[in-house]
Structures are given as structure tokens and as C-alpha cells.
Amino acid sequence: MIPRPAIFLDRDGTILDELGYLADPEAARFLPAALEALARLASTSLPIVVLTNQSGIARGILDETILREIHARMEREILETGGRVDAFYHCPHHPEIGPEPYRADCDCRKPRPGMYLRAANDMGLDLARSFAVGDTLRDLEAARRAGVPHLLLVLTGKGASTLETSRAELARIGARCAPDLDAAADIILGELAGD
């Protein structure tokens, strides 16, 4: 099978409202136009993969079962509005907090690239032709380290403060800015149309 590019999305602050440690499936709230953006991205043949740091598991705020319930609820709502997510990947670790095996200096906690590399291996993805969207520098730095060239910072969640404090770093890694996921979808769809 020929590896194919993918669209990698951060979860909190990019798709969902940034609530700190989301531990209740009923509290998950989609950002304005996020569902519409996911429906538009679903019109492509590219896999859509959500990657999220979830140190709340290491901290004991939620567990893997609750996280699966949150993602199942998200997926239902996304499917109902014409979108899709092909896979969710999460890092449950924290290097200094929590019991083992969750207290770990892992390779999957963004800004490290482990989740990207695992998804690429599992799903047969071509990272060198993929897109990554997130609201923090660590989201995009993880993608860059994995070899993803198309980096988009959304200004939702922590994005506006990231732009304010990390403008030079964002420029160094070649990240572009979009007001929200819907605008990021415009950029991605435009690039794909130009291929």
C-alpha cells in the first residue's frame, strides 16, 4: 500500500473548547464552526487523526475509560454532522506526576513526535505530505519533529497567546496562522486543490 498523507488535529483548543482537564463527556463543547470544518475536511480522501496530550490520566483526574467515552461522544456528534475522525491517539503520561506506568518520560507527549510516528506506522501515512493543526507551539513542534511540513496554528484555545509569545519560533518552523479550524480547513482544501 502506498503511504498517504493525513490531516492531524489537536483536540482541546482546536476542535473542543479549552476547559483544562476535560473529565466529563457531557462537558465537551465543540468550538464554533469546528463541526462544519470537520465535515468539509471529511470530503477529502485523507485520514483525519486527532492527537491529544492527556496528562489528566497521570494526574488521576480521569481514566482511560472516561477518555474513550469523551472520544466516542465526539465521534457521534462529528458523524451526525457529516464529518469523521479516522483515529484518536492520546498520551496519558506526565514525566513527574502520577503512578507508573503513567509517570513516564515518554516519546508520545507533545512536543515529542511519538504519536505522529505511531499513527503513521499504524495507518500507513506519509508524514512528509501531511498537515497538522493545533493551538500551541508544542502541537506544531511535535509535527515538525515527525516530518510534517504543513503546520497551521489556530488562534482559538491557547493559539492567540501562543502567537503573541512564540512568533519567532512559529516563523522558524514555518507555521502559518488561521483564526480557527474552519479557516485552517480552507487552507488545507486550497493546498489539496492545487496539487
Q: What is the pLDDT of residues 74-101, one digit of tens each?
A: 999 999 999 999 999 999 999 999 999 9
- Angle subtended by helix axes 137-146 and 159-172, to nearest 10: 30
Give per-residue pLDDT as tens, 124-176.
999 999 999 999 999 999 999 999 999 999 999 999 999 999 999 999 999 99
Domains with residue ranges and CATH for the chain: 7-194 (3.40.50.1000)
Quote the pLDDT of residue 195: 67
Could you give the dihedral angle defined by the CA atoms of residues 116, 181, 43 and 28, in that order, rounded to the nearest 10 degrees? 80
